[in-house]
Structure formats: C-alpha cells, structure tokens
Amino acid sequence: MNEPWDMIIMDCQMPVMDGIEATREIRLKAAANLDTPIIAVTANASESYRLQCLEAGMDDYCTKPLRMEKLQRLVTHYAEHRVVTRVREQRGLKDSLIDS
C-alpha cells in the first residue's frame, strides 16, 4: 500500500479480514492512504453498524443492493473533494481561502 489510491470501495463482509478491520489497518499503517476516502458497501443497514464503519475510519456508507445514483453521487462527491484538497496542498492554501 505504498501508492495512494483515489478511493476505496470497501466490502464489509470479506473472508479472513472484514471491512472494518481492513479499514482500521489502512488508517493505521498505510501512510499513502491515510486520507483516501473509504466507502463501506454492506448488506447490514442498521444504524449501529453504520456507526461502527464510520468509527473505524470509513468516510461514508452504502447499503446493498447498490443504487447506481447513490454510488455515482458518492464517487463524485469524494472525487471533487480530493481535487480541491490537492489544489490546496499544492498551493499551500488554508481551507478558508477556497470554497469547496
């Protein structure tokens, strides 16, 4: 995980390591991806599970079955946010100087 990714779509029910544990590992150990948006994808629609995902370091949450409109909206939102953040970093500007 030395290369930064633009976004991670995280399946929460994976064998060996679930999405919550994988997200914690990424946030703790993958320096290149500490700020990479992570979107949870899960069939578990409970509010308590959504909170577990967010507390683990995920940025957003999408339940199955996936709706293309919602997934597009999330990808667009986080892609635009990444572009604004990179411009700020390159120019050394503070958040208050550029509208997001």
Q: Which two tokens stand for residue 23?
A: 């997200």
Per the document, the length of the chain is: 100
CATH for 16:
3.40.50.2300
Q: Tell me the pLDDT tens digit for each residue of 10-23.
A: 999 999 999 999 99
Residue 20 lies in a domain: yes
Q: Tell me the pLDDT tens digit for each residue of 88-100.
A: 566 665 554 444 4
Report the sign of the C-alpha dihedral through residues 34, 84, 50, 65, in that order.
negative
* Contact call for residues 8 and 36 (beta carbons, < 8 A): yes
Residue 64 lies in a domain: yes
Cα separation of 100 and 94, whole Å? 12
State the average pLDDT for the chain.
Answer: 85
For residue 18, the enclosing domain spans 8-91
Residue 6 confidence (pLDDT)? 86
pTM score, two decimals? Answer: 0.77
